[in-house]
Amino acid sequence: MITGYSFRFAFESLKKEFWINVIAALSAGVGLFIIAILSITFYSINSVAKKLPERFTIILYMKDNTPADEINKLLLNLKNNSMVRSARLITKDSALNELKKRLKDSSFLIEGLDENPLPDSVEIRLRSDAVEKALLKDFIKELRSVPSVDDIDYGEDVMESIVMIKKAVETSGIAFIAVILTGILFNFYTTIRILFYRRKEEVETFKLLGASGGFIRAPFLIEGAAIGIAGGLVASLMVFGLTQVFAFLSTRLPFIASFNIQPYLLSFLIILPLAGALLGVAGAFLSIGRIRY
């Protein structure tokens, strides 16, 4: 039962036990800040991984003397595939011209060749949602089974490393977040327990006068929520500070720009105090337990 009195009781206690509450809010704030940083890291790695297929090119090297209509049929099939964003033919002649352009001053290396050693090839670009490793493997397998395809190059190692890093960060990150969340919860649990014991006499009198469990519990839950919100605001401030540091650094160090947290800032300013409040209430609830008469 939450009444105006519950709020008054809670804020009296917040004022009276000011330093305990400040320390609890700061510890919760640091914990929530670390969680925010981990979430931002997740997001950044995920977004890099998501964009990967767009930059990702699969090259199909065709067998010599593959008839043009067979290549055209393959191109048509690829264009109809939902995973494929684009597919284009690079003829052996255009490939040789491209090579000559790249070699520039060293083009004498290929001048002595009697015939063009390069094969016809097909360059495939994937859609961004085709990042799933399993899907990609199936797709490659399917392409390998095409009789006119001689070889395939698709940067398998890079893809696997990215997927592995993503998984490792996810697993360790989730475990780390769980540990920190438990720590924050324990922080609220002990703080509210101290506050509860400091007012034990008062609480005992309330019980004898007929107060319900809800009446006794309410101020402590409010107190937990208030400390949690304060902790969340501390974390929000720290995240805001970090965005300023990133904004400054990204002008000097371009790779920092890929960890752009500016778009998440507003969400964090809302989510962190809310998460703090929820953890505070949960910690207080666990701390007080059942009221026994």
Least distance between other proteins and beta carbon 204 (Å): 8
Q: Cβ closer to other proteins: 3 or 72?
A: 3
Q: Is 20 in the site for other proteins (CB under 8 A)?
A: no
Least distance between other proteins and beta carbon 194 (Å): 17
Contact 247, 45 (CB under 8 A): no
Q: Is 105 in the site for other proteins (CB under 8 A)?
A: no
Single residue of 171, 172, 182, 212 touching other proteins by CB under 8 A = 212
- Each residue 217-246 as x (binds other proteins by CB under 8 A) or -, in order, gives ------------------------------
Q: Is 292 in the site for other proteins (CB under 8 A)?
A: yes
Single residue of 208, 251, 255, 266 touching other proteins by CB under 8 A = 208
Least distance between other proteins and beta carbon 189 (Å): 23
Least distance between other proteins and beta carbon 293 (Å): 4
Q: Cβ closer to other proteins: 255 or 293?
A: 293
Positions touching other proteins (CB under 8 A) are: 1, 3-5, 201-202, 205-213, 215, 290, 292-293
